[in-house]
Structure 1
């Protein structure tokens, strides 16, 4: 008959494991099998997020709530109920949320949730405003100029916008269009755009020069984005890795390879790691990483940004190798049935990668154990990467 262990005994064993003690050593000391210990770990381990620490039961409850919310959203979409709600009722609701909760929800999110075009909503706002006739006409004109400018992907200047307006029957001077653009802070592509671009690229220096060695955690992080196709739809995985321990310190899955994917992944990792100082962040020159929003975020935290040379994946070999390993050991071995299935697979693999999988460059320690050893006042010789395996 299997031996029964007290609940407190199991939890104490898991707490010791979370503090850095290895599973083989604990199993030998406590006279239990490793399979038993892994079963306990799945039951009692702490699940840490950037905002809270959950027990497995609490985390499962959170997942059930998320699934329930997703089902409710699917029901609303399938019912067609939103199409039956009068437009004026939708606009009134949007205006209330926009006035009271603009810090929580963007106009794009609000309009998408209630299936109303942004142009219709802006027109509603402008009509409701108490303006003089001139101000009302100007507001409408500003909206049209902004829409034409955005539709051209910020390419058109005043003359081309004036031409598009004239084709729609609205004739105004290029001078007035230019004045509106200046008031809205819109700047079209400059004639010296190539020169400006080259100067910007020249400033984006490679601070690593393929020297993937650091002396302590949170000294250099590397990052990249990969993609995977699930049932004819692409999903994107952004990961951030600490060079010292090869630990994945942040990751996020998204349906879009957007700047928001990168900024959110970095914010969460930065908070999770205790807002480290003197940090260098290395990436390729993808649009998400060279964006103004991400550059501003790194400047805000005084983080140095290092860049790989264009078309040179070896400059970011650690991140590239992690994704190759993830696909070889996990993704290519699965037949994903949904995005949720893929997300769960990523979660489980990264936990395995950080806590269970030994790394050759870490003298066959796990990233988690390598950091714990360092924090325990015994500083291991820094790991070195030679453009080969992890």
Structure 2
């Protein structure tokens, strides 16, 4: 009514009659001071928005709730959800992989040692690896090879290349071995792509006493953790920033570096790690 009064010069008395509101109630509402709860919500909204923007709009209520708790705020997750709705913000949503039993009869050509057990008792006990495609306008398709530690969910090595060949996966493995002290009986799990079944790759694994495990052919659920990471990366980084594709190889590399090293490993909270980032989790395990 205040808007109608100020904009169209309608009388307060006439507007109260039209909307069947007592004049005393209108003036009481107009003059009321915000409650302590209202003031607290306004403050929380600022902190929630800061956490949301700091995550590049990737965080939903559970992770923002953990952020607030880490900053000393005592607030429920439901309240965070409510305030996010009032702010009109939500996380970037992606469809998660949900393992299902295969209906096809697939011949087991190579051993699947993980058998969809994606847990690990210690670091450097189980690694998973895969390659994904990324399009660039100037350089066409580029290929990202990644290795993830199943204990910490950290991307311990990644390489971007213009060629999807055995050298790409060898370089990725060399990168992992250059920064990690591997344990006995380390298992590396991959699909049965030609890069991973090549003699050069398996010879390199044998030289470093790493046991190779394989997904069944045509069954991405056997390697769902690394598949899930690549899906998350595309949703939160690649598609969110470049709906038409990256300009070139270099701009793609810079974007992936900022996401993987600057956010995913160092700051992205994982529910499976009690909402710690992979780097934070590994510090506790050290």
Normalised TM-score (structure 1)? 0.44
Count of aligned pairs? 182
Distance in structure 1 (CA, Å) of the matches to 2:69 and 2:274: 17
- How far apart are residue 228 of structure 1 and its match? 1.0
> Are the counterparts in 1 of residues 187 and 211 from structure 2 also a CA contact under 8 Å?
yes
Secondary structure of the 2:119 match is coil
CA 1:275–1:211: 2 relative to 1, 3 Å: closer
Secondary structure of the 1:297 match is helix
Q: What residue number does 1:362 align with? A: 273
Q: Does 1:310 align with 2:248?
A: no
- How far apart are residue 271 of structure 1 and its match? 1.5
Q: Deviations over 1:144-203 (max 9, x none)?
A: xxxxxxxxxxxxxxxxxxxxxxxxxxxxxxxxxxxxxxxxxxxxxxxxxxxxxxxxx856
Distance in structure 1 (CA, Å) of the matches to 2:228 and 2:70: 32
> Are the counterparts in 1 of residues 120 and 150 from structure 2 also a CA contact under 8 Å?
yes
CA 1:275–1:214: 2 relative to 1, 3 Å: closer
Q: What residue number does 2:227 align with? A: 320
User: Which structure has the highest helix share of the two?
Assistant: 1
- Structure 1: state its 5+ residue gaps: 1-22, 29-200, 376-390
- How far apart are residue 275 of structure 1 and its match? 4.4
Q: What residue number does 1:213 align with? A: 119
Distance in structure 1 (CA, Å) of the matches to 2:115 and 2:70: 41
Q: What residue number does 1:89 align with? A: none
Secondary structure of the 2:264 match is helix
Q: What residue number does 1:331 align with? A: 238
Q: Deviations over 1:34-73 (max 9, x none)?
A: xxxxxxxxxxxxxxxxxxxxxxxxxxxxxxxxxxxxxxxx
Secondary structure of the 2:195 match is coil
Distance in structure 2 (CA, Å) of the matches to 1:202 and 1:26: 47
- How far apart are residue 274 of structure 1 and its match? 2.6
CA 1:316–1:26: 2 relative to 1, 3 Å: closer
Q: CA RMSD in A?
A: 2.2
- How far apart are residue 24 of structure 1 and its match? 9.2
Distance in structure 2 (CA, Å) of the matches to 1:250 and 1:260: 14
Q: What residue number does 2:193 align with? A: 286
- How far apart are residue 292 of structure 1 and its match? 0.4
Distance in structure 1 (CA, Å) of the matches to 2:111 and 2:207: 19
Distance in structure 2 (CA, Å) of the matches to 1:312 and 1:202: 11
Q: What residue number does 1:240 align with? A: 147
The runs of 4+ residues in structure 1 deviating greater than 2 Å are: 23-28, 274-278
- How far apart are residue 251 of structure 1 and its match? 0.2
Q: Does 1:341 align with 2:248?
A: no
Secondary structure of the 2:112 match is coil
> Are the counterparts in 2 of residues 278 and 303 from structure 1 also a CA contact under 8 Å?
yes
Equivalent position to 1:277, from 179, 184, 188: 184
> Are the counterparts in 2 of residues 270 and 276 from structure 1 also a CA contact under 8 Å?
no
- How far apart are residue 334 of structure 1 and its match? 2.1
Secondary structure of the 2:163 match is coil
Q: Does 1:371 align with 2:282?
A: yes
- Structure 2: state its 5+ residue gaps: 1-66, 73-106
> Are the counterparts in 2 of residues 252 and 261 from structure 1 also a CA contact under 8 Å?
yes
CA 1:359–1:313: 2 relative to 1, 3 Å: same
Q: Deviations over 1:92-129 (max 9, x none)?
A: xxxxxxxxxxxxxxxxxxxxxxxxxxxxxxxxxxxxxx
- How far apart are residue 25 of structure 1 and its match? 11
